[in-house]
Amino acid sequence: MDSAIFIIRMNFPKPISKPLRTISCSSWYIFPFATLKLYQFSNFIALLLSFIFISCNPALSEEKNKIQTNPIIYAIEVSGNRVTSNELILRQMKLKPGMTATQKALENDRLNIASLGLFNRVEIILASDEGRSVVQVIVNEPFYIYPYIIASYELSNPDHTVLGLGVYHYNFRGQGLKLGIAGWGGYKRGLILFHEDTWFSINGKYGLAGKAYYLDSEITDPLGRNVRRENTGVRLSIKRRLGLRHYIKLGCEWEVITSESQFYTLTSGNMDRVVSFIIEHKNDQRDYRYYPTKGHYILINAEANRLVDIPHDFYRELIDVRCYRKFDPIIIAARAWGEFGQHTLPFYQWLSVGRSMVRAGEPFSNPNGIVLGGTMEFRFPIIRERYFSYEKVAIAAQYLRNLRFSLEGVIFGDRGFYANTRSGFRNDFRAYGCGFQVQLSYINIFHVLVGWTPSSKFMEPSITISNGVTF
């Protein structure tokens, strides 16, 4: 016998403390073995280079990359963020090194990061590095400076069409700071300059916001006449972070209101100058801010206003509560809201049941008292979330990767009414309808809704087209 090759099967009851360097080939491993001295003749030493195939126990072959059930996190790594700071991303995660990682906790953190609205796609992977569990956060960033369209069209009121354009940077300095300018014309005209520290860049606890604006719109005055109304103002506010998407805000505003109607303002000369102080508390516990499937949202706002030129004060409060429940594949979304006014409100501050609340028919305003309403929606998937990439666009390929798309159907019912101390509850406003909404990168949510009131004809619906965030 001139040579020999050994084929050995080995079962290891415990992991190897210092595994040999291996070359993976399915469930087999090839080890470069030392030269073997198999036998010796009188003047000859046979040296033989051999490769021994070892079929290992499956537990051994996967030991290096195996993730145990609910492992302890050793480290968290972030990649793909060319602009966004690691601190902003990590602050959205409840999981920290030393904590136990579960699939539910990983998915909740993925949705929290996605709720920033700063990424086309967010992936969280639990991997192993030398036997230690590492959470890998992989994000895909879009282009952060871009134009957007402002549009509103009602089939029943085509004269109320509004069209405009805005440009803004929504991740300035990689801290989620928003800077922008927007202008629009048509039934309503306006110009806005704004800055908003959405994600508390000052030590992770405080955020500043400011806005300067000019608004020109056509309104109906107390005598039923259509007149123009102009608002010019400046608003400043500071927010204190209390938790993940949970804050309290203090603000002040200076506003000048003018109108062609002498009944629209309270001060003589058809001009009111108003100083306002605002306090707001918001607690957003929804799983995903742009298309929630579970959780709740609570907003409480109180506003005190004073006219500068005459001794007159007025107050407004707002509460907005939203809840979500998923019965796969249907999502039930419910919303209840109320506005409360004390003292006689100026016409431009009247409480209202608008088209954003009751999504068909004409809006209604009330000078004081209470306005209440509620909404229920049934949402169901038509095309579930998927991602597309366009790598052939040479210049912008990196911004066209993992573009999100999904299509959902919506069936809704709205109801709103107002009350005061004299009349009680009256003017019951109702609407029902259906439509669809599309999730798109760079747009968030695009809505098309068709609605009717109990008195409207089926062939004369109210059609609302808008973009933004679903409630």
Tens digits of residue pLDDT in 174-213 = 998 999 999 999 888 999 999 999 888 888 899 999 999 9
pLDDT the model gives residue 422: 58
In the predicted model, what is the mean pLDDT of residues 328-339?
Answer: 94
Residue 36: pLDDT band by 50, 70, 90 thresholds?
A: very low
Most confident of 10-19, 26-35, 149-158: 149-158
Least Cα distance to 334 among 378, 291, 303, 284 occurs for 378
Please write the tens of the pLDDT for every residue from 414-471: 998 877 655 555 667 889 999 999 998 888 889 999 999 988 889 989 888 888 777 8
Q: How far apart are CA 57 and CA 62, in angstroms?
A: 9
pLDDT the model gives residue 73: 94
CB 89 within 8 A of CB 139: yes
pTM for the model stands at 0.77
Q: How far apart are CA 348 and CA 387, in angstroms?
A: 45
Give the Cβ contact number of residue 78 at 10 Å. Answer: 19
Q: Is 4 a residue whose pLDDT tops 60?
A: no
- Give CA angle at 357 (182, 470), nearest 5°: 60
pLDDT the model gives residue 192: 95
Q: How far apart are CA 458 and CA 323, in angstroms?
A: 30
pLDDT the model gives residue 107: 95
**Segment among 212-221, 290-299, 362-371, 441-450 with least mean pLDDT:** 362-371
Q: How far apart are CA 320 and CA 335, in angstroms?
A: 7
Q: How far apart are CA 152 and CA 145, in angstroms?
A: 23
| β partners of residue 120 | none
Q: Is 346 a residue whose pLDDT tops 80?
A: yes
Q: How far apart are CA 354 and CA 339, in angstroms?
A: 12
Q: Is 397 a residue whose pLDDT tops 60?
A: yes
pLDDT the model gives residue 153: 84
In the predicted model, what is the mean pLDDT of residues 357-363?
Answer: 77
Please write the tens of the pLDDT for every residue from 321-331: 999 999 989 99
- Give CA angle at 47 (46, 52), nearest 5°: 125
Residue 109: pLDDT band by 50, 70, 90 thresholds?
A: very high
**Segment among 56-65, 161-170, 318-327, 391-400 with least mean pLDDT:** 56-65
Residue that is written with structure tokens 């509460």 in the block: 319
Q: Is 349 a residue whose pLDDT tops 70?
A: yes
pLDDT the model gives residue 47: 34
Measured over the CA atoms of residue 454, residue 409, residue 469 and residue 464, the dihedral's sign is negative
Q: Which residue has the higher pLDDT, 225 or 15?
A: 225
Q: In terms of C-beta density within 10 A (0-12 exposed, 13-18 middle, 19 or more buried), how is residue 130 classed?
A: exposed
Helix and strand totals (H; E) in the chain: 3, 27
Within 8 A by CB and 6+ apart from 429, the residues are 353, 358, 361, 364, 373, 414, 415, 416, 417, 453
In the predicted model, what is the mean pLDDT of residues 51-72?
Answer: 48
Within 8 A by CB and 6+ apart from 372, the residues are 336, 337, 338, 416, 417, 418, 419
Q: What is the dihedral of CA 353, 355, 360, 363, to 10 degrees?
A: 50
Least Cα distance to 408 among 443, 374, 449, 375 occurs for 449
Q: Is 54 a residue whose pLDDT tops 70?
A: no
In the predicted model, what is the mean pLDDT of residues 120-127?
Answer: 94
pLDDT the model gives residue 155: 82
Please write the tens of the pLDDT for every residue from 130-155: 888 999 999 999 989 988 888 888 78
Helix (H), strand (E) at residue 29: strand 28-32
pLDDT the model gives residue 425: 58
pLDDT the model gives residue 151: 87
Please write the tens of the pLDDT for every residue from 268-293: 888 999 999 999 999 999 999 888 99
pLDDT the model gives residue 367: 67
Query: Could you give the percent of the chain with pLDDT greater than 70?
Result: 81
Q: Which domains are present in the chain?
A: 8-61 (no CATH), 73-140 (3.10.20.310)
pLDDT the model gives residue 423: 56
pLDDT the model gives residue 360: 80
Q: How far apart are CA 289 and CA 270, in angstroms?
A: 42
CB 323 within 8 A of CB 334: yes
Q: What mean pLDDT, rounded, does the chain reach?
A: 81
Query: Could you give the percent of the chain with pLDDT greater than 90?
Result: 49
Which pair of tokens denotes residue 49?
């280079």
Q: How far apart are CA 190 and CA 297, in angstroms?
A: 30
pLDDT the model gives residue 20: 32
Q: How far apart are CA 180 and CA 178, in angstroms?
A: 7
Distances (CA, A) of 402 to 62, 120, 355, 387: 31, 6, 34, 5
Q: Which residue has the higher pLDDT, 322 or 28?
A: 322
